[in-house]
Chain A
Amino acid sequence: MLALTLVGVCGIPGIVTTLGAFVGLVASGSWPVALLASVVCLPIGVLTCVVASRTVASFSSRGRGRLGNVLGLLGFGVLVLAGPIVTGLLSVLGDRGGLDTDRVGALIAGLSWTPVGAVWAVPGDLADGELWVGLVKLGIAVATLAALWLLWRRNVVAASVSPKRRAVSGRSGRLGWIGLAPTGPTGAGWARSLSYWLGDPRYLRNLVIVAVLPVLLAFALGWQVQTPIFAFVVVLPALLLGLVPYADVSYDGSAFSTLLATGIRGRDDRAGRLLGALTAGAPLVVVVTVVTVGLSGQWLLLPAVLGCGLGALLAGLGICALSSAYLVIPVPASGDNVFKRVPGQSFWVGLALMGFTLMAGVLTAPALALAIAAVVTGAAVWSWLALVVGLLIGVGVAVAGVALGGRVFDRTGPVLLERVRATSGY
């Protein structure tokens, strides 16, 4: 653990943290007492940062239970929202009597008593002659470091004494989606794909983003959401969600060989994957649409937004049914850290993805145009027309994607397997 701490301090994040701390040292340069205190406090501060990061890491590497995944995703969500939450809080503060220095000062004074802020406040307090306050805060800082260290040690000990003692018994007879699926390759593919969409963080996080993005935008707009623009907030995430499986075979890894070995026909494989993604994505898009349109108060636009959102999702999935019969990209392996960077993302794949996004956008455009007509005229008929057109185009693209992609897949299946083996290395 000492070694890991040292490595943490010497690593780039550690060095940056130390540099940041030194800026504080320079700032306190004109008060000798503060300077003296900083010599003690800044190393404690840096160490606390490093040990905290290790402690968090030791939690996340403890097994990969479902709960761990959910917590990880929640943390991810909070992190994404950190900016808006802070600005939101500040604006709330600002609403009550302006953003004056008193309030910020009070906020900082409060923070300086918490484990996060205590250590950084000690030099200042000592310079102000608040000897006891400074000592108490130093105590808080040392206790924080000690608590983090003990927590980390507990996890390390737990991991080394009983390394990932996984449950090797579980209730049998629970087939989940597989049990619900009708027999046949399409049903099997649907159930497998759906199980992964709802259980594998590599897919699941995209669903989280669809739910989170409207909240993000609402924050950005300062909750001024009673506008037609906000009613359409779901369309872009729905479009991006449809494009998630644009190289779906990559996520199978070498398990794709067990699928190919069954002699599955391309059409069935494509249809299974598309339906699985649709079963996971469509209800979410509908729910988010109803909520956001409801918040915007533009109920007239509900059919139009549904048409655009579902149409975009279907069009994206249809494009993916074809593109994933050609493309294999490097992705984190199943069970790996979702945020792991994988080498070998090529420029051309990025360009292709951009092309797919444009294509999906173009395919959504007719429904969107009708929806805009509904906004402008305020006539419900345009709204309903947008729903019909959006769904028709979406379903058409999906069916065409399955048919074309299926034919391509029948030819490229073994090539895909070779590429998956070469890029994923497992």
Chain B
Amino acid sequence: MPHRAPDAAPALALRGLVKRFGAKLAVDGIDLAVPTGSFYGLVGPNGAGKTTTLSMATGLLRPDAGTASVHGVDVWSDPTAAKRMIGNLADGVRLFDRLTGEQLIAYTGRLFSLPRDEIVARTADLIDLMDLREAAGVAVADYSAGMTKKVALACALVHAPRLLVLDEPFESVDPVSAANIEDVLRSYTASGGTVIVSSHSMDLVQRMCDHVAIVSNGRVLVAGPVAEVRAGSSLQERFLELVGGRTHAEGPAWLRQS
């Protein structure tokens, strides 16, 4: 799908999302507007509700309240149309790993009804891009963690989505592949695609993202262009200042060597 001129609606708009698991309020009213063409970082401590938020935004987890829409299409009232525009890389889920890498990409292409010859061409491109040529004919169950991540990313890209939602995309991916993928993602946003990435790595977010939202305890603490959020200090410092939870820096006395 070619990238059209920027439209009025944001690539992803979340309004008042709430999700409760038993007694725990995992997401407590999150609002977020991700502008088209932006590279948006979502950061927060473990258990902040990032993954839950992204699951609700991509139509995998029904919110208790609130709405999510992709380029103006409501994810929960028209899931098929909305999901066609989303490329989703979830963290910590299995793939259909009895299939080989190549089969898995071709399978995903067919799920999106791409023409068969188009699938052949795109599969080849993605396999080269992810440097998986040698392992293309091997069952995904036998892949390393990094290779599995890469083939999952390839599957998220195969239908040329307008919005990419990536949960911890570079975890255990080798540095060379990570750099290659970074390049591809940059040119993707430059051409009008939108990326929203959730990560623990402040360095990665500061380096790659132009927008960032800091999430803690199911709420957005601050959101906006990276420069504004940083407000002069590094993103890491700003994050710690907002989220808190730092212990004193020296560590326990018994650990010190002198």
Contact = CB atoms under 8 A, between A and B. Distances in A.
Interface of A: 64, 166-176, 178-179, 181-185, 187-189, 191-192, 195-196, 199-200, 252-255, 257-265, 333-335, 414-415, 417-418, 426
Contact of A263 (B82, B99, B119, B135): B82
Contact of A168 (B62, B93, B98, B138): B138
A168 B93 CA distance: 21
A263 B79 contact: yes
A170 B60 contact: no
B109 interface: yes
B47 to A, nearest CB: 16
A180 to B, nearest CB: 10
Most buried by B among A168, A178, A179, A188: A178
Nearest to A167: B138
B97 A335 contact: yes
Contacts of B92: 254
29 contacts: A166-B138, A168-B135, A170-B136, A172-B100, A172-B133, A173-B102, A173-B136, A175-B103, A175-B106, A178-B103, A183-B110, A185-B111, A187-B110, A188-B111, A192-B96, A196-B98, A199-B98, A253-B94, A254-B93, A254-B94, A255-B93, A255-B96, A258-B96, A261-B86, A262-B83, A263-B80, A263-B84, A334-B141, A417-B60
Contact of B95 (A166, A182, A188, A258): A258
A257 B60 contact: yes
Contacts of B241: none
Nearest to B112: A262
B95 A261 contact: no
Chain B interface size, as a band, is 35 or more
A258 B115 contact: no
A263 B137 contact: no
A131 B106 CA distance: 70
A167 B100 CA distance: 12
Given A168-B134, A191-B110, A261-B59, 17 more contacts: A172-B137, A175-B103, A176-B103, A181-B110, A183-B115, A188-B107, A252-B96, A255-B97, A258-B88, A260-B59, A260-B60, A261-B58, A262-B112, A263-B84, A335-B98, A414-B59, A426-B94
A184 B135 contact: no
Interface in B131-150: 133-138, 141-143
B109 A262 contact: no
A258 B98 contact: no
Nearest to A177: B103
Contact of A174 (B82, B100, B127): B100
B88 A173 contact: no
B9 interface: no
B122 to A, nearest CB: 12
A265 B142 contact: no
Contacts of B215: none
B116 to A, nearest CB: 5
Contacts of A175: 102-103, 106
A258 B105 CA distance: 12
Contacts of B88: 258, 261
Nearest to A272: B111
B202 interface: no
A178 B135 contact: no
A258 B141 contact: no
